[in-house]
Amino acid sequence: MKKELSALRVSDNNRFLIQEDGASFFWLGDTAWELFHRLDREETELYLRNRAELGFTVVQAVALAELEGLSTPNRYGRLPLKKNERGEYDPSQPHVEAGVYDYWDHVDFVMEKAASFGIYIALLPTWGDKYHQAWGKGPEIFTESNAKAYGQFLGKRFADKSNIVWVLGGDRPLAKIEHFQINRALAEGIREADAQRKLITFHPKGGESSSCHVHNEAWLDFNMIQSGHGQSDRNNYAKVGRDYLLHPVKPTLDAEPCYEDHPIGFNPENGYFDAADVRAAAYYAVFAGGFGHTYGHHSVWCMSRGQYSSLDFSDEGAYVIMSWQEAVQRPGAAQMRHVRALLESRPFLERVPDQELLAGNYNGANYIAATRGSDYAFLYTPNGLTIRVKMGKITGEQVKASWFDPRQGTITEIGRFDNAGILAFTPPSSGRGNDWVLVLDSM
């Protein structure tokens, strides 16, 4: 029987999320933006069961979805909002109807099913194109007034659901004062109605962190980064590292890195991100100070039903290259559990990023990232290049060194060494896709 999920809170050192009893919590997220909108009950259970079996602890999903989420009904023919007297979808008038299985009843079902699998929902009240249509289909329907009313509806509707983290934003910039006012009002409405005071964060546009605009907002409990899908080389460690140094201190994570099987730079001619890319993004982010990490697959976030040339799902092509049912079996998703297992295998809440462990580093795609506790250290090399370590950074006169394989989750002992001077460790294999974590434990 699964442990009852409690509302999450920020740790005392403001670096991590923890459970109500103080137990550590590793955010291993999956990106399922269209979950409420495009899956029926049976498909929802299939998806959530798969993610639970793979060790995911969080699923990110949107109430007012991006892909025509206002005007295209869910699988049961239901829409989330009513229209006002001007014929516009109105966030202050959620479409709740007694005696039928309405849109919000289905959201309830998903929330409860997720809880039964031990999964939290990072719940976006709306995709950002509903208040800033810089790109996407919109329409812009939010005002400061109806945003607060909608937030009050959500806070009251889900007041007894502990497995929620609120996520404002939704891949759009905050370019005008109105955008800030809308998000503040939405947060205020949620806070007024949500007695549990569940955590609130913000999902930014690509290449940015929430810290760029709203770090000092009183409602923001932790930062989210979208390192995005534009670059072939992973460098999200720099974005996480920047957030880590900010004051006031707030937890941070990369909540949208490159998706597995997503066209690099949104262009299939550039090739596709693969399992090696998503592994590097994960280890880079958490070793740089992230309290967790979110994985994504290009066919899962949109709940694709096949191969399509674009996200209007009209023509066969090479932009989305498989169905979500195939995509949940992809290797990168299965390998995310090893990140979580490694991080949870040592004292969790004392861990800090520490590049001073390295006696030298590489540029670009060969960058090595390092993190440690008081009596252990992890150093990640994405392509299996030699790691030169400044010893003496963790306790003990000697250390046990081991190689951790991010592809298989296995660990192989190297030997025992004096904890002094500079030592070089060469992984068992090298080349693209041959990533390794050097593990050092105090003796």
Could you tell me the pTM of the whole model? Answer: 0.97
Return the pLDDT at 1.
43
The answer to whether 303 touches 38, Cβ cutoff 8 Å, is yes
Residues of the chain with pLDDT under 50: 1
Query: By three-state DSSP, how is residue 46 classified?
Result: helix
The answer to whether 133 touches 140, Cβ cutoff 8 Å, is yes
The answer to whether 364 touches 396, Cβ cutoff 8 Å, is no
Query: What number of other Cβ atoms are within 10 A of residue 198's Cβ?
Result: 23
The torsion defined by the Cα of 341, 346, 349 and 354, in degrees rounded to 10, comes to -100
The position carrying tokens 């459970």 is 19
CATH number of 9-344: 3.20.20.80
209 vs 60: CA distance, rounded Å: 17
Tokens of 367: 């960058």
The answer to whether 376 touches 442, Cβ cutoff 8 Å, is yes
Return the pLDDT at 2.
54
The answer to whether 283 touches 435, Cβ cutoff 8 Å, is yes
Query: By three-state DSSP, how is residue 277 classified?
Result: helix
Topology, domain 354-442: Immunoglobulin-like (2.60.40)
Report the chain's terminal Cα–Cα distance, integer Å.
37
Return the pLDDT at 3.
60
In this predicted model, what pLDDT tens digit does every residue of 90-141 receive, in sequence order?
999 999 999 999 999 999 999 999 999 999 999 999 999 999 988 778 899 9
Every domain of the chain and the residues it spans: 9-344, 354-442
The answer to whether 434 touches 407, Cβ cutoff 8 Å, is no
What b/e readout covers 264-280, taking b as 16+ CB neighbours within 10 angstroms?
Answer: beeebeeebbbbbbbbb
Return the pLDDT at 35.
98
